[in-house]
């Protein structure tokens, strides 16, 4: 079953998404068909019927393969992520399955983080719960790479929110592993709702209520406990 998952369900999921279809739905259909074939192979006394376990998900893969992409779908570009390695600078390519994960660079062998891109799922609000604090600095969002964290800090500052970038050099004796320890965007918890609103606005600066607006008086981030 794991083999069927790797051979069929995973590719079906990503190919469906690349064509603008519901990957989860297509993957589930393929898995259910594979299970049905497995069930038939075990219980239906017809010789050779067990091959359905492979044929049905394979047919699903063939179907999604030939289906026309929806307008605006990312297409084949979705299936690979190409980016310059953060260690050696060479252009490297990973499968979409690896997005956001730590991988070894095929060029230099260092541990690097495969970046998220414009096709990656964006963090949703329900994963970002306001901490039960009334004041003090809290982590708004954490990232595996410094760049998106720095960009978010800049975006928040452009919208009047005093955000801080906090990198983690906790690699210590394993400095190359530092990339996995995370980069955080810290804000004053009293600006939480405003910061979330900026993030949900997806980079569009909020309309200024007052162009001469200066930093709010509580914009200073108090020391952390
Ligand atoms: Zn490299």
111-170 pLDDT, tens digit per residue, is 888 888 878 766 544 456 788 888 888 888 887 777 788 888 988 999 999 999 887 655
148 lies in the same domain as 212: yes
Nearest residue to 24 (alpha-carbon basis) of 34, 14, 38: 14
- Decide if 224 is inside a domain: no
Q: How far is CA 128 from the centre of its chain?
A: 14
Whether 172 shows a pLDDT value over 50: the answer reads no
Q: How far apart are CA 66 and CA 62, in angstroms?
A: 6
Q: Do 170 and 212 reside in the same domain of the chain?
A: yes
Distance in Å, CA 18 to ligand 1 centroid: 27
Cα of 112 vs centre of ligand 1, distance in Å, is 8
**120 lies in some domain:** no
Please tell me the distance between residue 90's alpha carbon and the centre of ligand 1 in angstroms. 6
25 occurs within a structural domain: yes
Same domain for 95 and 50: no
CA distance 23 to 215: 45
Q: In residues, how long is the chain?
A: 225
User: Does residue 71 sit within a domain?
Assistant: no
Looking at the structure, tell me whether residues 209 and 157 fall in a common domain: yes
Q: Is residue 30 part of a domain?
A: yes
Selected residue with higher pLDDT from 222 and 51: 51
**pLDDT above 70 for 207:** no
Q: Is 90 helix (H, G, I), strand (E, B) or coil?
A: coil
The answer, as to whether pTM is greater than 0.85, is no
Ligand 1 centroid to 37 CA: how many Å? 43
Residue 72 lies in a domain: no
The per-residue b/e assignment along 52-81, b for 16 or more CB within 10 angstroms, e otherwise, is bbbebbbebbeebeeeeeeeebbeeebbeb
Q: Are residues 132 and 105 in the same domain?
A: no
Residues 137 and 215 in one domain: yes
Residue 82 C-alpha to ligand 1 middle, in angstroms? 12
Give the Cα separation of 202 and 155 in Å (integer): 10
Name the residue with tokens 């469906």: 16
Based on the domain organization, do 201 and 142 belong to the same domain?
yes
What Rg, from alpha-carbon coordinates, does the chain have?
23
Q: Are residues 146 and 170 in the same domain?
A: yes
CA of 81 to the centre of ligand 1 (A): 14
Within a domain: 192 = yes
Which residues 6+ apart lie within 8 Å of 161 measured at CB? 187, 191, 194, 195, 198, 219
Ligand 1 centre to CA of 142 (Å) is 23
What is the total count of domains within the chain? Answer: 3
Q: Ligand 1 centroid to 113 CA: how many Å? A: 11
Mean predicted confidence (pLDDT) in 68-72 = 92
In terms of domains, do 106 and 139 share one?
A: no
Domain that holds residue 41: 2-66
Identify the band that residue 173 occupies on the pLDDT scale cut at 50, 70 and 90. very low
53 and 97: one domain? no
d(CA 12, CA 29): 10
């Amino acid at each position: 079953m794991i083999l069927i998952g790797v051979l069929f369900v995973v590719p079906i999921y990503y190919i469906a998404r690349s064509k603008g279809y519901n990957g989860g739905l297509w993957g589930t259909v393929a898995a259910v068909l594979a299970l049905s074939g497995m069930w038939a192979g075990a219980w239906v006394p017809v010789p050779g019927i067990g091959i359905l376990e492979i044929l049905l998900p394979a047919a699903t893969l063939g179907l999604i393969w030939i289906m026309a992409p929806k307008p605006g779908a990312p297409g084949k570009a979705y299936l690979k992520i190409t980016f310059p390695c953060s260690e050696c600078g060479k252009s490297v390519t990973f499968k979409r399955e690896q997005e956001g994960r730590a991988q070894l660079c095929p060029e230099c062998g260092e541990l690097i983080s495969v970046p998220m891109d414009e096709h990656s799922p964006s963090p949703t609000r329900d994963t970002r719960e306001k901490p039960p604090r009334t004041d003090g600095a809290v982590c708004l969002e954490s990232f595996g790479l410094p760049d998106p964290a720095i960009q978010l800090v800049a975006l928040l500052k452009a919208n009047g929110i005093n955000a801080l970038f906090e990198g983690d050099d906790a690699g210590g004796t394993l400095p190359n592993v530092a990339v996995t320890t995370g980069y955080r965007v810290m804000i004053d918890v009293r600006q939480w709702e405003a910061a979330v609103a900026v993030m949900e606005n997806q980079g569009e600066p909020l309309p200024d209520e007052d162009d001469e607006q200066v930093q709010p008086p509580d914009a200073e981030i108090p020391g952390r406990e």
